[in-house]
Amino acid sequence: MTVMRYTKDHEWVREEADGIWTVGITHFAQEQLGDIVYVELPAIGRRFGQGEDACVIESVKAAAELKQPLSGEVLATNDALAEHPELVNSDPCGAGWFLKIKPSAPAELDALMDEATYQTYLAG
């Protein structure tokens, strides 16, 4: 079963094969931001600590950051977002992903929310 975890800042991480995790923002986050017109992605190979700003997300209105949900190294970025940033709005948990990372401190996952907890957090 696919494991997905969520941050209080409305990022998600999803476990893929071989200890690689995909990072994106949630449906709630894209809805709050509105039409996204520009995404700035980090260089492959960069290492971020948990909670560090890893990407810039610009909507028509303003700029926001994607904070790295887990410490680790960037293995890949979603190049499609350069031409089609609107994918983040239309498919935030699929084609609108941001990064693939290799976590360096997997224990950090324990502090993230599972689906049910995140839904409760949203409702709160």
In the complex, which residues of this chain contact other proteins (CB under 8 A)?
34-35, 37-38, 40, 56, 58, 60-63, 82
Comparing CB distances to other proteins, the nearer of 22 and 26 is 26
Q: How far is the CB of 119 from other proteins (least distance, A)?
A: 21
C-alpha to C-alpha distance for 66 and 23, rounded to whole angstroms: 9
Which of 1, 13, 2 lies closest to 113, judged by CA?
Answer: 13
Comparing CB distances to other proteins, the nearer of 13 and 54 is 54
Comparing CB distances to other proteins, the nearer of 22 and 30 is 30
Q: How far is the CB of 38 from other proteins (least distance, A)?
A: 5
Encode 54-79: b = buried (16+ Cβ within 10 Å), e = exposed.
bbebbbeeeebebbbbbbbebeebbe
